[in-house]
A = this chain, B = another copy of it.
Amino acid sequence: MAKLPVSPLAPPRFPDLPEIGGVRFATVAAGVRYADRTDVMLAELSPGTSVAGVFTRSATRAAPVLDCQEKIGRGSDDGAAIIVNSGNANAFTGGRGQESVARVTGGVAERLGLPPERVFSASTGVIGEPLPDERITARLDDLKDGLTATGMEEAARAIMTTDTFAKGATTRCEVGGKTMTIAGIAKGSGMIAPDMATMLVYIFTDAAISQPALQSMLAELNHSTFNAITVDSDTSTSDTLMVAATGASGAAAITDPASADAAPFREAMGRVMLDLAHQVVRDGEGATKFVEVTVTGARSEGDARKVGFAIANSPLVKTAIAGEDPNWGRIVMAVGKSGAEADRDRLSIRFGDILVAENGWVAPSYSEEAAAAYMTQPELAIGVDLGLGEAAATVWTCDLTHGYIDINADYRS
């Protein structure tokens, strides 16, 4: 497949990611599948690092995901490591898949002097082909020798598959006079295809946080960030989101996610996660529009999300957006099919600031020309008020274009 052009929705450039105390990175070109590019990244985490993670809920999870889920959350003050390859997902590879994971993580553990249960892995790429793990283990010494505190951008590039740009984000926060830094990388461009468009996210911070507190915050923030985006409604067998907190900032340890000290960190980590989640949508396969769907006035947050995702996943809504057509009838349709409680005559719909429909019919002030002009913008906001209650939710998606068909109808050839 030819190299894809960079998404028109990409940020202007990769951010300058700061060093995070206690984290070092290395990458190599191991030739797992691709030629002439890096395809393995290793992150080494200092002793005492808390590692939290959330994973795909697919019933056909890949071997590395099963391994991570087994290992995550065990108390340990040992160092840790994360190793990720692109090119092969090691998914649907039977018992051999587990053996490959054991060889790769065991090899890393040996080189870095870690217990094997502190080495986490991920693989992203083609499904159903055995992982040529010997190509990775042959390069573990090189990875160890290459470890550097400044390698996070290279790590972001090594895990790309169909991504058209590398994804990174960073921010800082202060607690009790101490500055804590958070930086993360992500890959993903279909939401989230099983082949090479799996979403992988790794976030690093020098904050000091107990593993249970970190896990709790991660799960909560995930709900409104990575679990609030969709490109094509498909779910990878390998989706992985991990956060590592090294404690190198010297700030006091956060052990209660509900404490006052936790609040600035939670807010900052949420910002990094939302930034990365938006970048995944901006790299949605074939995307030409970035779309925020906000649903208000729902009876429950669950209903608001149902309506939001019904709109964001509707092929008819997404193709209308691609065609810059203010086809609000398709929004009505998506609300209707969502399964959420809705009342046609209380529903109102907005495109940006333009009131489109209310009281069960098109708004008297509505101008199709103004709406059509609005739809030509690359970033769109769709607002739906159900008029039934106080609950709300926001989700993000992109349009469905010929580019999506191009990429996915001919992916493996």
Contacts and interface: CB of A to CB of B under 8 A. Distances in A.
A403 to B, nearest CB: 9
Contacts of A193: 316, 330, 333
Interface stretch (A25-33, A71-79, A135-143, A335-343): A335-343
Interface in A321-373: 322-323, 325, 327-330, 332-338, 340-345, 347, 357, 359-362
5 contacts: A60-B335, A128-B357, A237-B333, A320-B411, A402-B405
B322 A92 contact: no
B361 A92 contact: yes
Interface stretch (A4-12, A34-42, A174-182, A228-236): A228-236
A13 B94 CA distance: 48
A91 B360 CA distance: 9
Contact of A319 (B89, B233, B409): B409
Given A96-B361, A237-B336, A323 B59 contact: no
Nearest to A326: B412
A335 B60 CA distance: 7
A413 to B, nearest CB: 7
Contacts of A338: 59
A92 B360 contact: yes
Shortest 10 CB-CB distances between A and B: which pairs? Answer: A127-B329, A60-B336, A323-B409, A194-B333, A58-B336, A319-B408, A235-B337, A94-B361, A94-B360, A59-B342
A61 to B, nearest CB: 7
A194 to B, nearest CB: 3
A233 B236 CA distance: 20
A322 B59 contact: no
A360 to B, nearest CB: 4
Nearest to A235: B337
Nearest to A356: B128
Nearest to A232: B315
Copies of this chain per assembly: 2
A322 B127 contact: no
A275 to B, nearest CB: 26
A142 to B, nearest CB: 30
Interface string A380-413: 0000000000000000000011101100111111
A126 interface: yes
Given A60-B333, A128-B357, 19 more contacts: A58-B333, A58-B336, A59-B342, A60-B335, A60-B336, A92-B362, A96-B361, A127-B332, A193-B330, A195-B327, A233-B313, A234-B334, A235-B333, A235-B337, A315-B404, A320-B409, A323-B413, A325-B409, A405-B405
Contacts of A320: 408-409, 411
A314 interface: yes
A284 to B, nearest CB: 11
Binding site of A, secondary structure by majority: helix, strand, loop or mixed? loop
B412 A325 contact: yes
A93 interface: yes
Contacts of A325: 409-413
A408 B402 CA distance: 11
Interface string A229-247: 0001111110000000000
Nearest to A127: B329
A59 B92 contact: no
B336 A61 contact: yes
A190 interface: yes
Nearest to A410: B323
B237 A60 contact: no
B194 A330 contact: yes
Given A234-B316, A316-B194, A409 B405 contact: no
Interface in A89-129: 89, 91-96, 126-129
